[in-house]
């Protein structure tokens, strides 16, 4: 069996969908809330494809000790295209808020509180798991000065904006999470750029938010972040404008564009070895415009099972690396994992897929969702504190 055969990936996806089917039969389907059901369904497939991307990378890493792009267009795009679409979703949803906020003031405090509560609680749990694994691998022994260790931990806790260093001398610490945290600084940078985008679009913005936004712009230019990742955000921004054209939105929902979306994605995978070029980003952006307009791709993205998988997207994305590491390090063992034939290797990945889904469901229900529901309460508390400080002679916002 060829390790890069698409067949095991298909079986793993079907296993994930079946797991979600079982969950919605037991606990009910996700609510049909919001205007973008197709995007809700898309998220889950993207996150699970990133899991498959890292699964095949692990296969070759175990045999070569090289963490590298897999020798397969399909499995490469599972990861690169998956994250590109995630960036487009962010660009689309938050630029849409700006376009909807024209002529009035956006509640920036609530927006940033919601983003913090969306990302940080589960991230903190993932960091706890990472630190426990490092503690175990270190033999419960301190291998570095405490000041160095504290600096490493803080850099990880800060969403790896300043890098993801090895912790306590454990080489390739980032592989414990399959390196997924690299995308989060881009997300945060985009959030912090929103006030500048809003100002350009005639939305009222407080001075403090503008200052922070300009500082982020300086940080981006200073650190030479990768252009093609920002092009993905631009694709989402373009979609935010285009789906406001009523006739275009109506047209793009037709079945012919469902087929067009499938053909464009297939062509991207077939003809481009990487997502990181102008042409594939443009083709994927065209697909995303169709989905943002409400095209469910023959119902694939809008059915209850897909949307249930979509609810778990952040948990799948953030936790799958830890699941893979535990599987190969502690369950099977590195030495035995190196000897696995492709069919045995993929059998293990398919077997662990429902475990990942159930873990992600628990983390969504017990960590992500409760945190999101506390947004209004925390926002009100912070606003009262800020107002009290301002009345006492603090800085005007």
Task: Let me know: does 38 contact 301? Beta carbons within 8 Å.
Answer: yes
Q: How confident is the model over 151-185, as pLDDT tens digits?
A: 999 999 999 998 999 999 999 999 999 999 999 99
Give me the percent of the chain exceeding a pLDDT of 70.
97
Q: Determine, yes or no, domain membership for 302.
A: yes
Q: How confident is the model over 207-229, as pLDDT tens digits?
A: 889 998 888 888 777 775 678 89
Q: How confident is the model over 54-69, as pLDDT tens digits?
A: 999 999 999 999 999 9
Q: Determine, yes or no, domain membership for 341.
A: yes
Q: Determine, yes or no, domain membership for 340.
A: yes
The pLDDT, as a whole number, for residue 196 is 92
* Domain count within the chain: 1
pLDDT at 296 over 60: yes
The pLDDT, as a whole number, for residue 154 is 98
The pLDDT, as a whole number, for residue 386 is 87
Q: How confident is the model over 329-363, as pLDDT tens digits?
A: 999 999 999 999 999 999 999 999 999 999 999 99
Q: Determine, yes or no, domain membership for 384.
A: no
Residue in 6, 8, 45, 61 with CA at minimum distance from that of residue 325: 61
H or E stretch at 19? helix 6-27
Residues composing the chain: 397
CB 79: neighbour CB atoms within 10 A? 23
For residues 161 and 184, give the distance between their C-alpha atoms in angstroms, rounded to a whole number.
Answer: 8
Torsion on CA atoms 327, 329, 334, 336, rounded to nearest 10:
-50
H or E stretch at 375? helix 375-391
Average pLDDT of the residues in 8-32: 95
Choose between 343 and 386: higher pLDDT.
343
Write the DSSP symbol of residue 245.
S
What backbone torsions phi and psi does residue 366 show, to the nearest 5 degrees? -100, -20
Tell me the whole-structure pTM to 2 decimals: 0.95
Average pLDDT of the residues in 32-41: 87
For residues 93 and 240, give the distance between their C-alpha atoms in angstroms, rounded to a whole number.
Answer: 7
pLDDT at 395 over 60: no
Q: Determine, yes or no, domain membership for 89.
A: yes
Q: The domain containing residue 296 runs over which residues?
A: 11-368
Q: Determine, yes or no, domain membership for 381.
A: no
Residue in 176, 181, 185, 67 with CA at minimum distance from that of residue 130: 176
Interior CA angle at 135 toward 346 and 57, to 5°? 25
Q: How many helices (H) and strands (E) does the chain have?
A: 17, 0
Q: Determine, yes or no, domain membership for 157.
A: yes
Contacts of 356 (CB under 8 A, 6+ apart): 16, 51, 316, 319, 320, 323
Q: Determine, yes or no, domain membership for 94.
A: yes
Choose between 370 and 209: higher pLDDT.
370
pLDDT at 396 over 50: no
**Which of these ranges, 90-94, 102-106, 253-257, 266-270, has the smallest mean pLDDT?**
102-106
What backbone torsions phi and psi does residue 359 show, to the nearest 5 degrees? -60, -45
Write the DSSP symbol of residue 328.
I
| Confidence tier at 35 by pLDDT (50, 70, 90) | confident
């Amino acid at each position: 069996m060829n390790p890069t055969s698409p067949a095991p990936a298909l079986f793993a996806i079907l296993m994930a969908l079946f797991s979600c089917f079982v969950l919605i039969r037991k606990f009910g389907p996700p609510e049909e809330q919001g205007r973008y059901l197709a995007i809700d369904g898309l998220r889950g497939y993207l996150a699970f494809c990133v899991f498959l991307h890292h699964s095949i990378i692990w296969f070759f890493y175990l045999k070569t000790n090289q963490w590298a792009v897999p020798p397969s267009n399909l499995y490469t795009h599972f990861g690169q295209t998956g994250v590109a679409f995630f960036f487009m979703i962010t660009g689309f949803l938050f630029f849409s808020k700006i376009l909807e906020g024209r002529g009035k003031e956006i509640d920036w405090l609530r927006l940033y509180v919601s983003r913090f509560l969306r990302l940080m609680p589960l991230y903190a749990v993932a960091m706890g798991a990472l630190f426990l694994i490092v503690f175990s691998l270190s033999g419960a022994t301190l291998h570095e000065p405490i000041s160095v260790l504290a600096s490493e931990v803080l850099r990880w806790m800060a969403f790896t904006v300043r890098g993801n260093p090895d912790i306590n001398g454990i080489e390739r610490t980032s592989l414990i999470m399959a390196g997924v945290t690299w995308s989060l600084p881009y997300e945060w940078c985009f959030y912090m750029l929103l006030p500048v985008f809003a100002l350009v679009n005639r939305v009222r913005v407080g001075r403090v938010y503008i200052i922070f936004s300009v500082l982020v712009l300086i940080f981006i230019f200073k650190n030479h972040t990768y252009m093609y990742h920002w092009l993905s955000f631009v694709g989402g921004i373009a979609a935010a404008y285009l789906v406001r054209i009523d006739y275009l939105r109506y047209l793009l929902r037709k079945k012919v564009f469902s087929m067009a979306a499938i053909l464009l994605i297939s062509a991207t995978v077939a003809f481009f070895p990487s997502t990181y070029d102008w042409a594939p980003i443009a083709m994927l952006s065209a697909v995303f415009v169709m989905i943002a307009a409400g095209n469910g791709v023959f119902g694939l993205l809008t059915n209850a099972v897909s949307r249930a998988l979509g609810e778990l997207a952040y948990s799948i994305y953030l936790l799958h690396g830890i699941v893979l590491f535990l599987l190969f390090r502690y369950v099977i063992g590195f030495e035995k994992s190196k000897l696995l034939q492709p069919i045995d290797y993929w059998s293990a990945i398919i077997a662990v897929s429902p475990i990942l889904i159930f873990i992600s469901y628990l983390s969504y229900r017990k960590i992500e969702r409760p945190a999101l529901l506390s947004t209004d309460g925390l926002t009100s508390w912070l606003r009262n504190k800020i107002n009290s400080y301002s009345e006492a002679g603090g800085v005007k916002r």
